Amino acid sequence: MNIILITLSGIIGSGKTSLTTLLADRLGTKPFFEPVDDNPVLPLFYKGNEIAAEKRAAGDQNTTNPYAYLLQTFFLNRRFAMIKQAMQNDNNILDRSIYEDEIFMRMNTDMGNATKVEYDIYKSLLNNMLEELPYAAHKKAPDLMIMIDVSYETMVKRIKKRGREYEQIENDASLVDYYQTLLSYYDRWKDEYDASPLLIIDGDQYDFMNNAADQQTVLQSIYDELFNLGSIQLSQYQQLSNQLKEG
């Protein structure tokens, strides 16, 4: 197989980890997963959002989340290290990448959770990292970015199913607005993204995690795209497609 790098994007609960696992198995590539359980900042960030929302509701419109900048710097550092490692090896898939990192910092700044100064410093750091990628790795960009596009209802259902307490809207009412706002930023991001070819998967229409027919449709669309881009050869494309037909 040719040397390929695939990155996935999508909102919380869209199915990135599941699709990464599935693709890595089918393509014989190594999956890279963003660590979540060992993130010491994430629970603090969610609690900070809740406190900031309560203070704004009480009239303090200048309240920020003190953990927003810290969280995004934490994520940015990890994503940079992860994509460098993936790009230095052959045939890898990342369940999230540095290319969608700015979504969260931009949104948190617009929502008042981070300051303009924090955003400017973060953006400068991100730009420096992206400029260094071609020198730190074999590739300038992924061969393909796959975005799993889902609605608010699908996202919340999947978040509930995986059961992380700090992500549940039942435990924090401010998450309803946060998640809906995040969806709108992802809509904007998919129109702006230009670092590599982008394939959008309809995560509402195709339940590739639980429905075999949907899984086959999604995988075939990815194989089609990789072949059209020249990332896999004809013989590899035919082999992958035949495996799908054989189940």
The per-residue pLDDT for 85 is 85
What are 103-143's pLDDT values in tens digits? Answer: 999 998 998 889 999 999 999 999 999 988 877 666 778 89
Residue 47 has pLDDT above 90, yes or no: no
What are 53-99's pLDDT values in tens digits? Answer: 888 888 877 788 989 999 999 999 999 998 888 887 778 999 998 99
Annotated binding-site residue? 34: yes
CA 1, 129, 39, 61 torsion-angle sign: negative
pLDDT, the chain, mean: 89
Strands 92-94 and 30-32: parallel
Which residues, 6+ apart, have CB-to-CB distance to 238 below 8 Å? Answer: none
- 60 in catalytic set: no
Catalytic residue of the set 38, 95, 120, 194: 95
Residue 9, SS3 per DSSP: strand
Annotated binding-site residue? 207: no
Looking at the DSSP bridge assignments, the partners of residue 92 are: 5, 30
Annotated binding-site residue? 11: yes
Q: Looking at per-residue confidence, does 52 or 191 come out higher?
A: 191
Q: Is 133 exposed, middle or buried (0-12, 13-18, 19+ CB in 10 A)?
A: middle
Annotated binding-site residue? 160: yes
The per-residue pLDDT for 136 is 65
Average pLDDT over residues 188-204: 95
Q: Which domain holds residue 49?
A: 5-246
Annotated binding-site residue? 72: yes
Indicate which CATH number applies to the domain containing 86.
Answer: 3.40.50.300
Residue 200 has pLDDT above 60, yes or no: yes
Provide the CB-side half-sphere exposure for 48 (13 A, CA): 18
Alpha helices of the chain — where are they, by DSSP H?
16-27, 42-57, 68-87, 101-110, 116-136, 152-162, 174-192, 212-228, 234-246
Q: What CA dihedral angle connects 66, 97, 36 and 46, to 10 degrees?
A: 30
Provide the CB-side half-sphere exposure for 67 (13 A, CA): 16
Q: Which of 112, 87, 110 is nearest to 98 (CA)?
A: 87
Query: What global pTM score does this model have?
Result: 0.88
Annotated binding-site residue? 230: no
Average pLDDT over residues 17-31: 92
Residue 237 has pLDDT above 90, yes or no: yes
Largest Cα–Cα separation, the chain: 64
What are 161-185's pLDDT values in tens digits? Answer: 888 887 888 888 878 988 999 999 9
What percentage of residues in the chain have a pLDDT greater than 70?
Answer: 96
Annotated binding-site residue? 6: no
CB atoms within 10 A of CB 180: 12
CA end-to-end span of the chain: 21
What does the alpha-carbon distance between residue 56 and residue 63 come to, in Å, rounded to a whole number?
A: 7
Token output for 11 = 């909102």
Number of structural domains, the chain?
1
Is the CB of residue 182 less than 8 Å from the CB of residue 50?
no
What does the alpha-carbon distance between residue 179 and residue 169 come to, in Å, rounded to a whole number?
A: 9
What are 216-236's pLDDT values in tens digits? Answer: 999 999 999 999 999 999 999
